Structure 1
Amino acid sequence: MGIGLGIVLLVIGLILATDAVSLPSSWQDHIDGNTLGWILIIVGALAIILALVMNAQRSRTTHVEERRTDQPPPPRV
C-alpha cells in the first residue's frame, strides 16, 4: 500500500462521488455510487497519509553494523 495506490483510490472515489460515471444498472440496486465514492476517497486519503508517515519513520532510523572475526581476542596484560 503506497502513495500510488492511495492516489488511484482517491481518483476513483472522486469520479464516483461526482457522478461523472454511473455504475451498471445491476449494481445500482444494491450499491450507491456516491457513498462508494466517499468511502474510496477516505480510504485513499488514509493510504496516502499512512505511506507518508511510514516513509518518514524509515528515514529516521539508524543502522548499526556489528563485525565478528574468527581471530582469538588479544591477550590481557
Structure 2
Amino acid sequence: MTPDELRDIQARAKAELAKIDTAHTEENENRLRAEFERRGWKLTRSGSGKSGFTLVDPGRTRISGLTLADAQNLFKKIAKS
C-alpha cells in the first residue's frame, strides 16, 4: 500500500465517522424514532455507543447494529416507497 492509498483510506474513514457523529444527536434520534413510528416501524436503542440501534419493521423483522446515520439512510428509502 502506498502512502497515497493510505491517506485516501484514512480520509474516507474520517468522512464516514463524521457522518455518524453528525447524525447522532438526541434531537435526530427522537425525530427518526417518531418518523419511523408513524409508518409502523420501531427504532430502539439496542446498546451503547453510536452503532447501537435496532430497527423493527411492521412484520417484526429486525435490523440490528445500526447507527443513526444508517437509520436515516434507510428512512429515506422507506419514505420514498
Task: Tell me if TM exceeds 0.5.
Answer: no
Q: With structure 2 as the length reference, what TM-score do the two structures score?
A: 0.33
TM-score normalised by L of structure 1: 0.34
Could you say which structure has the larger radius of gyration? Answer: 1
